[in-house]
Structure 1
């Protein structure tokens, strides 16, 4: 899709221009809203170039929690012939009760108030990849100006803080695939909020050559400048599952502060609005993220629009973390989706993604329980 177009979820079924920042930014009070601030996180990443995602070393209690979760899902979906109909029926009921489809949200009478900064003419067409996927004001990511950098109107970037009310689970930033005009904004966000992990779940182009995400990081070169920010590649590696890891140093070019180390995990073979080609790459990402401390700062997750694959991954990640904590409410997966949709419209966009997340949660609990 091209810039300024809309992102619509196919109902397929499967199992499985710069201005000075406004002085009255609309958004959360970042000191009190419960979302990430720009203060540095206390932890560092435990990875090297020879990164191999180890099987999680679970405690006896955690193994029991996974076994219980697996038994719950096996009992719920005990008849293979009815799995698809049960999953799809539950998702249809969810949509009807929550009125949270993107098209419904955008037609609501107060949407202009809820997304006022995104609808600002200085932001709307230029800075949104899809004009029907917009962040809410209350939890949008707000960018601050720096020497040599001026963010969009009211510090705008199409990105949302995503969290659960649980101190021991990861916090996310769900965002669109960066556009060329938002490259510097994206990296300014990484620096301001000390984001040490980026999970990229999209190709740059679709099968017809449409732009899904622009190339916002060094690919063939070892360093690249984005306005006042420089991104340097420390190392790069890949494996047979289709994952590529890059370790970046990110900093303002004139900064006297140490650069920020960022792990970039790229998975290209998850088609838009479809199931992943296989489960292993996503399970590998989850293995890696098991070793990332939850207090390390927001984990940035993006696909193209920042709601389908990104929302699915965030839901899987959070559900598994809560299962390992013994939180039985995690098994009510659509409750998590409901909570996430209150924070970013259209998270887990359609039935395909809902089936995918259930499938991957089952695979994870099975793989660590056996």
Structure 2
């Protein structure tokens, strides 16, 4: 894919001025301690693969702890409010009230909407540099503006998209909330500009986007990484593309905002957040 450059389309000052490069990320330099931990983890995984019964038992225990319908009504009350129901792609995949992302400036000004978007904060303790994520659904046409409001409000430096827009059977997998190759694209109060677009050797599509707010002089630089070959129900056959995504994320400054992860629904995005 040829690179597209619309860098002259805006003149806003960026609130996260990190420069995204379309070149391959530099090799990660691991310390001896990190190499030791990786070796121990690989050994543990290899050992576990020899015990499928144990894996099945662990999965069964997790399934038994799944939230019930009554628990969901109590824990996801904002998502189930009548004014927010149509903002959910699937009614069995909802954010908890306690960890949901709240929008300060929401296009739905009804008080009961409470700045709702189908998105949740996820924190991990495995890495200090990659400890903040927002897991969200593939945006719907009427939630595009909400999505970009979230990215702008929380100064999100990267978006990982683990799906394609349309499958081989012409079924829509995710709304087209980002393509702006022919110039700036308006989403209500937000303007999104494509700085460059590039395909990587590992089947990733990389985009450098800039998000501008019509009522602010600030802009947010965003690295959009699309992995269109990630399967709907499962995981990739190899780790090449996933490793490239993680390499690019590890080179982001740690003081930026949370990384957004989404696929068609929640399952795949949570797999990557916990990688």
Question: 30, 53, 56: which one pairs with 2:25?
Answer: 53
Contact 1:230 1:250 in 2 (8 A): yes
Q: SS state of the match for residue 117, structure 2? A: coil
2:158 equivalent to 1:185: no
Contact 2:189 2:213 in 1 (8 A): yes
2:63 equivalent to 1:95: yes
Contact 2:181 2:194 in 1 (8 A): no
- Report 1:217-296 matches (<5 A): 217-255=178-216, 257-296=217-256
Distance in 2 between residues matched to 1:92 and 1:209, nearest whole Å: 35
The Cα RMSD (Å) is 2.3
Contact 2:16 2:155 in 1 (8 A): no
Contact 1:144 1:151 in 2 (8 A): no
Q: SS state of the match for residue 272, structure 1? A: coil
Greater strand fraction, Structure 1 or Structure 2: 2
TM-score (norm 1): 0.65
C-alpha distance after superposition, 1:265-304 (max 9, x if no partner): 1100011012214321111111112212333111000001
Shift of 1:155: 0.5
2:65 equivalent to 1:65: no
C-alpha distance after superposition, 1:55-75 (max 9, x if no partner): 211112111221222222233
Match of 2:6 in 1: none
Shift of 1:95: 2.0
TM-score (norm 2): 0.86
Match of 2:174 in 1: 213
Change (3 A) 1:220 1:88: farther
C-alpha distance after superposition, 1:26-69 (max 9, x if no partner): xxxxxxxxxxxxxxxx97535323x2023211112111221222
- Report 1:1-370 matches (<5 A): 45=18, 47-49=20-22, 51-77=23-49, 79=50, 82=51, 84-96=52-64, 99-100=65-66, 105-107=67-69, 109-124=70-85, 126-145=86-105, 149-150=107-108, 153-164=113-124, 168=128, 169-255=130-216, 257-305=217-265, 307-316=266-275
Contact 1:246 1:264 in 2 (8 A): yes
Q: SS state of the match for residue 247, structure 1? A: strand
Shift of 1:210: 3.0
Contact 1:46 1:292 in 2 (8 A): no
Distance in 2 between residues matched to 1:65 and 1:151, nearest whole Å: 49
Contact 1:44 1:296 in 2 (8 A): no
Q: SS state of the match for residue 161, structure 1? A: strand
Distance in 2 between residues matched to 1:68 and 1:241, nearest whole Å: 27
Match of 1:14 in 2: none
Equivalences, count: 259
Shift of 1:309: 0.9
Greater helix fraction, Structure 1 or Structure 2: 1
Distance in 2 between residues matched to 1:151 and 1:279, nearest whole Å: 43
Contact 1:269 1:277 in 2 (8 A): no
Q: Flag structure 1 segments of 5+ consecutive residues without an equivalent.
A: 1-41, 317-370
